[in-house]
Amino acid sequence: MTIHKEGRKILVILLLLLFGINYLLIEIFAVAAIVFNSFLGCSVMLFLLVLQFFRNPKITPLIDSKFVLAPADGKVVVIEEVEEVEYFNNKRTQVSIFMSPVNVHVNRNPVSGIVSYFKYHPGKYLVAWHPKSSTQNERTTVVVKMSDNLEVLFRQIAGAVARRIKCYIKEGDVVVQGAEFGFIKFGSRVDILLPTDATICVNLGDKTQAGMTRIAELPG
């Protein structure tokens, strides 16, 4: 288990801030022991809570070109047919994974191939489960073309709490299934847009693990 690079600066700043406040309480303001111990306990819990947001466990991705793997840890909250209007302009099966604050926040490539499309969209910060969050919230859209020319689209979507999306890939990049492509701080969701004839391998409410859970079997 390691700490993700996105969290290292935040954790150092938080540690120094909490240390400084606790030092002031006991050395400058000389608060009662019960008050200091209570605040110290809250400080430790807060630091550990933020620390777990940025954990980055080592995994061995379940690489298999026949399947689309989960791009995020979380819970499946949407499985439905939608009209995709940004890139494909046709019907697609959407699978959405909600990332709570207690999930690992590393995002991993669901398939291998070449990034054929990438776009960052500024936007709102509706709660991640809101139906319009896929089209109105801050988000990134990525399309990867596989070796058989089949394309899969996926989106990182910011939410009411998660207001910082990091995506490390760009158009033309060669990506590997299960490898890290981004990070969403403190939660939110990832959508995957699949061909309508793909066989969905998960159900609503299922828990997913990035790079390990099979989301769908591709046609052909």
Active-site positions read 188
* Of the candidates 60, 55, 46, the residue with the CA atom closest to the CA atom of residue 15: 46
Beta strands 180-184 and 165-167 are antiparallel
Q: Which residue has the tokens 């909600």?
A: 98
Query: How many CA atoms lie less than 13 Å away from 152 in the CB half-sphere?
Result: 31
* Of the candidates 103, 180, 110, 116, the residue with the CA atom closest to the CA atom of residue 143: 116
DSSP, collapsed to helix, strand or coil, labels residue 131 as coil
